[in-house]
Amino acid sequence: MARGKPRLRVGVVGATGIVGRELLDSLQRRKFPVGELLAFSSGRARQTVRFNSRALPAPGVDERALASCDLVFFVSADEVSERLAPGLARRGIWCVDDSSAFRQDPEVPLVIPEVNASALARDKKLIAGPNCTMTGLAVAGWPLHRRVGVRAVRLASYQAVSGAGKAALGEFFSQTRLLVTKLDSSGKAPLLAAAKAQALPRAIAFNVIPQVGGFDEKGESSEERKVAAELRKIWSAPALAVSVTAVRVPVVRGHSLAAWLTMARPTSPVEAGPLLRAAPGLTVSKEGDYPTPLTCKGPGPVYAGRLRQGAAADELCVWIVSDNLQKGAALNSVQIAEELLKRRWLAA
């Protein structure tokens, strides 16, 4: 930690969840100037978390303790954020919310710092981070939208199970362990297909599931709606046409996207390549190479490859990978807080 930096009282609500642990890890790795860390579990079970090599208690939420913080990260359920964040923000406490509760609230900035840090405002103490699925596209497509203009987006996702939380991950692991002894080319997996999926709508081991969240009357899943609405808000592009097929795949960590971008005018990969390579937060693979969830090279935190012409001269295709737990959640929240520090809006 740099000397002389303010040392803040930082609350983390949901510290014992998958994203919570990643958040503590990010704060530590990035040397965020934490003076005191108050960790809270969003559940009732008494747990501990590790931060800077120390075990900290993570009791249930204590509203009085939260009110003593300079900054509170919410990495828990929508309901928890809804109940606590607006009150704290009114009292002048910066709240960085990773839930989807306030993302579409016009009074709440929805921020990916590489894209729209300009949406932050000194008097808007409650700030939302985006859905983990659209983050990669929002970062990778941003230079194209800013410099040329994107009219329409079609997106197929390959989403890791960790994005669905601990219970889904446990289900995935136990299904995999059950099936791994029975693997053969028939691939029929009757046991697994019959196994009752609980946290996810179908068995996920050795399968793909084109459902992330519930369906609306138009047949779109809540994840697909979130991606569309949040991309429009973050890019300030209310007229952007967005069509998404959100699919869960048997990957532990790392969301991938196959994206088609319809540009405002014919745009070649030769023109688009340098724009992408100059984009903050984006690492573009060399020609012939590409990122995968297990093999991302370079600083990131978003990775792109396979930039090529799409179905017409005004369409580009690109493959995008980003860490759903970090850039899609924990890291983005910490980057937002760093932006507040940089502007000196947040000080101990």
122 forms part of the interface with its own copies (CB under 8 A): no
345 forms part of the interface with its own copies (CB under 8 A): no
Six-digit token string for 139: 């970062």
CA angle 229, 232, 79 (to 5 degrees): 35
Choose the binding region for its own copies from 37-45, 103-111, 112-120, 311-319 (rule: CB under 8 A).
Answer: 311-319
> Which residue in 76, 118, 135 sits closest to 100, CA to CA?
76
Binder among 116, 162, 283, 332 for its own copies (CB under 8 A): 162
Q: Confirm whether 132 is a catalytic residue.
A: yes
Binder among 261, 305, 336, 337 for its own copies (CB under 8 A): 305
Q: Confirm whether 296 is a catalytic residue.
A: no
Closer CB to its own copies, 293 or 301, in the complex:
293
* Distance, CA of 299 to CA of 146 (rounded, Å): 23
293 forms part of the interface with its own copies (CB under 8 A): yes
Helix (H) or strand (E) holding 34: strand 34-40
What does the CA dihedral 7, 89, 127, 24 come to, rounded to 10 degrees?
Answer: 40
317 forms part of the interface with its own copies (CB under 8 A): yes
Question: What are the DSSP E strand ranges found in 47-174?
Answer: 47-51, 54-58, 71-74, 94-97, 126-128, 150-158
CB of 247 to its own copies, least distance (A): 7
* Distance, CA of 251 to CA of 41 (rounded, Å): 26
| Contact residues: its own copies, CB under 8 A | 18, 21, 152-154, 156, 158, 160, 162, 166, 169, 173, 176-177, 180, 183-189, 192-193, 202-203, 206-211, 215, 218-220, 241-243, 245, 247, 249-254, 256, 258, 260, 269, 287-288, 290, 292-295, 305-312, 315, 317, 319, 325
